[in-house]
Chain A
Amino acid sequence: MKYVEEFRDAEKAKILVQEIDKLVAEIDIAKERPISIMEVCGGHTHSIFRYGLEGMLPKEIELVHGPGCPVCVLPMGRVDDCVAIAERPEVIFTTFGDAMRVPGSKKSLLQAKADGADVRMVYSPMDALALAKKNPDREVVFFAIGFETTIPSTALTILQAKADGVENFSVFCNHITIVPTIKAILDSPDLQLDGFLGPGHVSMVIGTAPYEFISQHYKRPMVVAGFEPLDVLQSIWMVLKQIKEGRAEIENQYARIVSDAGNSPALTALSEVYELREFFEWRGLGSIDHSGVRIRDAYSVFDAETRFAMPNIKIADPKSCQCGEVLKGVIKPWQCKVFGSACTPEMPLGALMVSSEGACAAYYQYGGVKKREAVS
């Protein structure tokens, strides 16, 4: 077990893996087919690959890497909209670093920058607001991406912009929400999932109550999980224990950060500024009802979509890309025809290769995750 030694609590990990082995041996369905557990969050995907956790698990467990990486699910058309805004001479376009290299149909933001557009990397939407204050003769646009973990940050920034009377600041909102996404996955006929690892930091904001439908309606267990290797292993054990006992509940392994009710100031800011969109387009997954938010009318002066004319064209993903199938867990990254050949982290074709939280990049970076037999 060469992977275990890499992290400090090798002993605890070994014990957990033994407990997982024991449980799996007692689960009947595991004798017929693998038990599939989806980690919804890209942070978990990253931990799983980085620590080789898949290789430590018995072969009866299949981890399905879900769509929880905001950069990875950005559709090409939205990237084209970014480029169109960024190329306006009056605009300073600000973005998180991860989003710079996501391919659009013609170029990425990085290429637009090389071609002369004023694209700047910021760490925080607050930095974009500060830029707007320092450059009153320019239009500063912040490219807002992310699930509920980052939605409150742009909501609070818009509230601050309003309080400060900043007129040359707007947000291009591409925020997405987790619950409709999980529902779409559960409704997808391609996919048979036995349980979920719930996202840690999205849940820190929304709490655990919004997931109840997963256990009540779909009868699947979910365990909200932390990001350390031991957190992930323990959460997998908790999911398996529920399966073994025939329970489907929402459990919280990450209670040190996540409360059942979530973060109330964050939720208040979120619903003050944002409302649900009827639908939002995802790369690879198509349109998902109510899966995105937009800026409410009361704050529309801060909405880049009202301030600028956008091409807003739907662009089909390149034919050779199989990002959608990977996102839904139907195929593994290395089964994509262009994985590692036409699509690499240096020259990404699909967005799953761009971010270190994307399954393809994580797999590419940390290499062969083999099942335990192959290792020992």
Chain B
Amino acid sequence: MCLGIPGRIVAIDDARKKLATVDVSGVKRQVNIACVVSDDHPVEACVGDWVLVHVGFAMSRIDEAEAAETLKVLTELGEAQAEMEAMRLSATG
């Protein structure tokens, strides 16, 4: 929850609600990108961005190398698997 996980924004789902699809090591899910959008960086410009995702919200933009490093550390910590498992199992139905 507190460490978050890096993912890449691959599509904008709803520009008004600031919802986008993020790919986290192959797991795709919808996240809210309101916290990484600004006047200088509008919703449309976010596709391709690497972001740190906390509980379904992109909280910070990161560069690609940073994302790779972070994923590696999270994998070692056992956090990446737990986070992706939580994404997959999340009850929405």
Contact = CB atoms under 8 A, between A and B. Distances in A.
A187 interface: no
A152 B35 contact: yes
Contacts of B78: 50, 356
Nearest to A259: B60
Given A96-B1, A150-B1, A357-B2, A124 B35 contact: no
Q: How large is the interface on B (under 10, 10 to 19, 20 to 34, 35 or more residues)?
A: 35 or more
B15 interface: no
Contact of B60 (A96, A134, A257): A257
Contacts of A191: none
Given A127-B91, A201-B2, A152 B86 contact: no
The SS class assigned to the B binding surface is mixed
A263 B60 contact: yes
B57 A131 contact: no
Interface string A75-96: 0000000000000000000101
A156 interface: yes
Contacts of B63: 256
Interface string B69-87: 1101100111100100011
A149 B59 contact: yes
Contact of A47 (B30, B32, B35, B77): B77
B55 interface: yes
Given A123-B86, A156-B57, A263-B60, A130 B34 contact: no
Interface in A344-361: 356-357
B32 A228 contact: no
A204 interface: yes
Contacts of B52: 201, 204, 257
Contacts of B55: 96, 123-125, 146, 150, 153
A287 interface: no
Given A7-B76, A120-B91, A263-B59, A150 B54 contact: yes
A127 B38 contact: no
A127 B62 CA distance: 25
Nearest to A41: B2
| Best-surrounded residue of B34, B72, B91 (most CB of chain A within 10 A) | B91
A285 interface: no
| Best-surrounded residue of A94, A125, A152, A264 (most CB of chain B within 10 A) | A152
A165 B65 CA distance: 41
Contacts of B26: none
A336 interface: no
B7 interface: no
Contacts of A202: 2
Nearest to A96: B1
A7 B75 CA distance: 12
B59 to A, nearest CB: 6
Nearest to A6: B76
| Best-surrounded residue of B2, B3, B66 (most CB of chain A within 10 A) | B2
A50 B74 CA distance: 11
10 contacts: A124-B56, A131-B91, A134-B93, A145-B1, A146-B1, A201-B59, A204-B59, A256-B63, A265-B34, A266-B35
Interface of B: 1-4, 17, 29-32, 34-35, 37-38, 52, 54-57, 59-60, 62-63, 66, 69-70, 72-73, 76-79, 82, 86-87, 89-93
